[in-house]
């Protein structure tokens, strides 16, 4: 199946129904499809050819969904940029994938111009922004373009998305999804998480380039609505649920924690809300239990990753209702996924023993962009993908994540790998060595925390060190706390012992080791 064909099917079948709601503006299926066709023709008119990669630096808004559909229809590979990443990170992503046209929101013009100054030959296509710094106004180009579907021939194996992720190594790499795997992601969501009809609506406040955006196509092919907010703010979020009769939301732990702590749920009409999907990072048990107490058994959990979205495993509403130990599980294998836990040699381990999660499914990536060595490490052959996450399986087949094979920190739903933060800290002339770990945090679940040993005679403040990281990396990667220490603990062979730094933080937080 082709993802582009699913877009066409939804447009034909539900043309007069409302498809997308942004602010006070409602767009029908026909209007979204027309916008997508015109944008596709405009992009092709800029000289892009099927198979070319186009960068997207786009906030949630009225152009987000039509632009994604346009890339599908034009046979282009979209390379979405997280707006929160730093200029060096974004520039490397564009350069590495050979992007020559960057489409950007008006609000992100300044960042786009900066990127163009860093990369020779990068053309900018603004969404409705006419000014000297922009090479093309894509909205004007689209209005002048044909509204007919370009009907560019595509095949199931054509790459339509190169989505950057820290993956399993800590280094940003682009996981590639094809027309077929993206269609399989839509089918996976419908088979395991939600079953919308024409009267349903999902609220999107998180960036549409990540997990939230994968729900758009499943709802589209069922005639349902996507209600899009520019970002997450608790009061406006619950107001949108009430106003638009939203039936499903997708949250990360930080969002749910803020909804509960601010008290906005107590004053909201949530009578239409049927499903609360969560994933992206582990949900702290206290927050989940508070959520169930307040909202009832509306929760569905998924476990997955960019390389194999969205759900490899599912913890259903019925599982949440059963409660007990199951609330600590990430669920049972999805109906369209094979899951096996293996030892380091790749041999299956029996129930109760810890092993690495490996998955085989139609929605796994085609590989990383231009990274054959990493492909060889991650794609284990015969269709299996190594997640490098460690789990145990009970007798009923439920999986329980016990640790990461890496030292990844999940803060506010974003993945941070210690090594990249340590590299940024080590660039400061006062730093002799450092180690970065995740500490418990009531808002962000984990807070990036640095331990730094200084060079002899050197002096530097924690804030100065934070500023040096901020200049190189995204804001969410900047340590929230910096501890100046005499030495960094190491093993006999010189390996940094992060657990020796991390464990006391978690022990002091709750009285027992996490």
State the SS3 of 219-242: HHCCCCEEEECCCCCHHHHHHHHH
Least confident of 159-173, 186-200, 438-452: 159-173
The rounded distance, in Å, linking the Cα atoms of 464 and 467 is 5
Tell me the pLDDT band of 287, cut-offs 50, 70 and 90: confident
DSSP state of 361: -
Percent of the chain clearing pLDDT 90 (strictly above):
76
Q: What is the CATH number of domain 1-154?
A: 3.40.50.12780
- Give the pLDDT score at 511: 39
Higher per-residue confidence, 499 vs 124: 124
The rounded distance, in Å, linking the Cα atoms of 451 and 464 is 14
Query: How confident is the model over 492-503, as a mean pLDDT?
Result: 75
- Give the pLDDT score at 254: 81
Distance linking the first and last C-alpha atoms of the chain: 44
The rounded distance, in Å, linking the Cα atoms of 55 and 78 is 6
Over its C-alpha atoms, the chain yields an Rg (Å, rounded) of 23
Mean confidence (pLDDT) of the chain? 92
- Give the pLDDT score at 508: 67
- Give the pLDDT score at 274: 97
- Give the pLDDT score at 498: 84
Query: How confident is the model over 67-89, as a mean pLDDT?
Result: 95
pLDDT at 493 over 80: no
Higher per-residue confidence, 285 vs 124: 124
Domain limits of the chain? 1-154, 409-510
pLDDT at 284 over 80: no
Superfamily (CATH) of domain 409-510: ANL, C-terminal domain (3.30.300.30)
Exposed (0-12), middle (13-18) or buried (19+): which is 475, by Cβ within 10 Å? exposed
pLDDT at 419 over 90: no
CB 464 within 8 A of CB 435: no
- Planar angle of CA 311, 314, 315, nearest 5 degrees: 150
Note the pLDDT tens digit of each residue in 220-242: 999 999 999 999 999 999 999 99
Least confident of 49-58, 134-143, 183-192: 134-143
- Give the pLDDT score at 246: 98
pLDDT at 76 over 90: yes
- Give the pLDDT score at 513: 35
């Amino acid at each position: 199946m082709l993802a582009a064909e699913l877009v066409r099917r939804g447009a034909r079948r539900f043309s007069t129904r409302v498809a997308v709601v942004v602010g006070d503006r409602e767009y029908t299926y026909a209007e979204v499809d027309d916008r997508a066709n015109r944008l596709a023709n405009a992009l092709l008119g800029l000289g892009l050819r099927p198979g070319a990669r186009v960068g997207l630096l786009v906030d949630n808004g009225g152009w987000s969904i039509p632009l994604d559909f346009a890339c599908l229809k034009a046979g282009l590979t979209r390379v979405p940029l997280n707006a929160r990443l730093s200029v060096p990170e974004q520039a490397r992503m564009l350069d590495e994938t050979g992007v020559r046209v960057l489409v950007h929101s008006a609000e992100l013009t300044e960042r786009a111009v900066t990127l163009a100054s860093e990369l020779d030959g990068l053309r900018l296509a603004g969404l409705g922004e006419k000014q000297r710094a922009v090479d093309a106004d894509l909205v004007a180009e689209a209005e002048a373009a044909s509204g007919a579907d370009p009907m560019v021939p595509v095949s199931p194996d054509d790459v339509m998305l190169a989505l950057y992720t820290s993956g399993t190594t800590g280094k940003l790499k682009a996981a590639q999804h094809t027309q077929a795997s993206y269609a399989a992601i839509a089918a996976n969501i419908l088979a395991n998480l939600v079953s919308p009809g024409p009267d349903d609506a999902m609220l999107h406040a998180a960036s549409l380039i990540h997990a939230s955006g994968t729900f758009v196509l499943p709802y589209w092919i069922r005639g349902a609505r996507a209600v899009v907010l520019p970002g997450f703010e608790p009061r406006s979020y619950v107001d949108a649920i009430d106003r638009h009769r939203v039936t499903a939301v997708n949250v990360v732990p930080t969002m749910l924690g803020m909804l509960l702590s601010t008290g906005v749920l107590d004053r909201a009409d949530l009578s239409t809300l049927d499903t609360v999907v969560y994933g992206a990072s582990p949900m702290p048990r206290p927050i989940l239990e508070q959520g169930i107490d307040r909202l009832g058994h509306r929760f569905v959990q998924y476990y997955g990753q960019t390389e194999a979205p969205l759900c490899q495993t599912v913890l259903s509403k019925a599982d949440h209702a059963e409660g007990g130990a199951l609330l600590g599980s990430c669920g049972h294998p999805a109906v369209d996924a094979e899951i096996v836990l293996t030892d380091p040699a790749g041999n299956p381990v029996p129930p109760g023993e810890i092993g690495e999660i490996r998955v085989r499914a139609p929605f796994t990536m085609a590989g990383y962009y231009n990274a054959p060595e990493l492909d060889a490490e991650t794609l284990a052959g015969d269709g299996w993908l190594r997640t490098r996450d460690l789990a145990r399986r009970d007798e009923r087949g439920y999986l329980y994540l016990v640790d990461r094979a890496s030292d990844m920190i999940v803060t506010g739903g974003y993945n941070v790998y210690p090594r990249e933060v340590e590299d940024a800290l080590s660039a400061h002339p006062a730093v002799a060595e450092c180690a970065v770990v995740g500490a418990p945090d009531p808002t962000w679940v984990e807070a990036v925390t640095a331990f730094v040993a200084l060079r002899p005679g050197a002096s530097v403040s924690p804030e100065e060190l934070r500023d040096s990281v901020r200049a190189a990396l995204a804001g969410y990667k900047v340590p929230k706390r910096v501890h100046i220490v005499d030495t960094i603990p190491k093993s006999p062979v010189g390996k940094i012992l992060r657990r020796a730094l991390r464990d006391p933080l978690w022990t002091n937080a709750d009285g027992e080791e996490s």
